[in-house]
Amino acid sequence: MKAPIGIRDVALRAEVSVGTVSNVLNRPDVVAAATRARVLAAIDALGYVRNEPARQLRSGTARTIGLVVLDVGNPFFTDVARGVEEAASEAGHAVILCNSGESVTKERGHVELLAAQRVHGVLITPVQSGPAQVRWLRERGISVVLLDHPTAEADLCSVAVDDRHGGELAVTHLLAEGCERIVMVTGPAGIHQAAERHRGARDAIRLAGRPPEVLEVLTAPALNVACGLRAGEQLLARTVRPDAVFCANDLLALGLLQAAVRAGVRVPEDLAIVGYDDIDFAAAAAVPLTSVRQPRHELGRTAAALVIAESQSPAEHEHRHEVFTPELIVRESSRRPRPSRHFHVKAPPEERKNEWI
Ligand code: RIB
């Protein structure tokens, strides 16, 4: 294979020094227009591509940020990643996407790789609430923003959604629809987002003055469609079934909806379902899914802007903790039919000839 074209080949072709080529690449404003044009023409003609790792080594900085998410299979995170990528590319940065798969070991491996790549900063939705990875990165001078994870720590930024409020919105809505036997299908205890939604669900029951037993909790091993399907099969096999299910995310809710359709259970008439995230598939589901919407794209953009701002001027950077408010989007899956009420309107007295008044 032919050796890659180097900066010296470009200098030779353009009849300038290597330093001039470097200036055209890094400080074009200090090079005369005619010379700059000649160098750019040589770059095009030779097909020169700059050696980014070598540049990073020389300058000690990389124009990349790392993004470590819990599950790239969850559209929530791909929507967030789109916002991250958009803001990063506007700032001239690329994004290295890593999937921890909710594994602490995988998460650690990704964090070490990103540090080795000398990325400018890392956005991370930590597998566990512990700050281990965050501290490890910051000790190596790498900016970190907690993504989809609130924190009170004063020395780093975070971007999250008020999940407790989101859980309260979901269950308050189900109570208003007349649901009496509500099950919340949540995820493993280590996923704080699900735990916060559960807290909000309990708040709704208490604030409505209803007994705690109105809300039952079922814990799924993971927050995905397969676990939602299994939870649905389990709940619908009961003699006394719930009349509503609030799921900790939309993937669980879509799996649960699938179980209801397979069992011939009418949604929402027999079983109201509410999810969380409002991913695109929620509205497109066989029975459009009611869901608690998270501002996914905005979460990503905000986190990327914070980590790039901190990495570019760490001394002046002021840490922020952004918390967005979720919104309940009501659709067919929870809009229970109202009992039809016939209003009998009496005719005025002069017209009531044969009636007792
Ligand atoms: O990662 C599990 C869930 O937490 C996602 O579906 C999303 O809701 C996130 O906040």
Atom 6 of ligand 1, residue of closest alpha carbon? 249
Q: What is the pLDDT at residue 345?
A: 60
Three-state secondary structure call for residue 52: helix
Sheet holding 157-161, edge to edge: 94-99, 64-69, 121-124, 143-147, 157-161, 321-324
Predicted model pTM: 0.81
Residue 49 has a pLDDT of: 82
- CATH 3.40.50.2300 intervals, the chain: 62-161+297-323, 163-294
Ligand 1 atom nearest the C-alpha of 163 is 10
Interval 258-317: pLDDT, tens? 999 999 999 999 999 999 999 999 999 999 999 999 999 999 999 999 999 998 888 899
How high is the pLDDT of residue 51?
Answer: 73
Residues with CB under 6 A from ligand 1: 70-71, 74, 76, 148, 191, 193, 223, 249, 276-277
The ligand 1 atom nearest the CA atom of 161: 10
What was the pLDDT predicted at 353? 53
For every one of its 357 residues, what pLDDT tens digit does the chain have, with 9 covering 90 and above? 677 788 899 999 999 999 999 899 888 889 999 999 999 999 999 988 877 666 666 665 668 999 999 999 999 999 999 999 999 999 999 999 999 998 889 999 999 999 998 899 999 999 876 677 888 888 888 999 999 998 888 889 999 999 999 999 999 999 999 999 999 999 988 889 999 999 999 999 999 999 999 999 999 999 999 999 999 999 999 999 999 999 999 999 999 999 999 999 999 999 999 999 999 999 999 999 999 999 999 999 999 999 999 988 888 999 999 999 999 999 999 998 776 665 556 666 665 554 433
How many angstroms is it from 193 CA to the middle of ligand 1? 6
Rounded distance between C-alpha atoms, residue 74 and residue 134, angstroms: 23
3-class secondary structure, 161 = strand
| Ligand 1 geometric centre to CA of 321 (Å) | 19
Which residue shows structure tokens 């020169």? 48
292 has which bridge partners? 276, 328
State the distance from the centre of ligand 1 to the C-alpha of 263, rounded, in angstroms.
Answer: 27
Instruction: Determine the distance separating the centroid of ligand 1 and the alpha carbon of 249, expressed in angstroms.
Output: 6
Please name the residue that has the structure tokens 């179980």. 259
Cα–ligand 1 centroid distance for 320 (angstroms): 22
Q: State the DSSP code for 181.
A: S
Through-space distance between the first and last CA atoms of the chain, rounded to whole angstroms: 104
Architecture of the CATH domain 163-294: 3-Layer(aba) Sandwich (3.40)
Instruction: Give the domain 62-161+297-323 fold.
Output: Rossmann fold (3.40.50)
Measured by CA distance, the residue closest to atom 1 of ligand 1 is 70
**What fold is seen in the domain 7-50?**
434 Repressor (Amino-terminal Domain) (1.10.260)
Pocket test for ligand 1, best of 249, 254, 293 (most atoms within 8 A of CB): 249
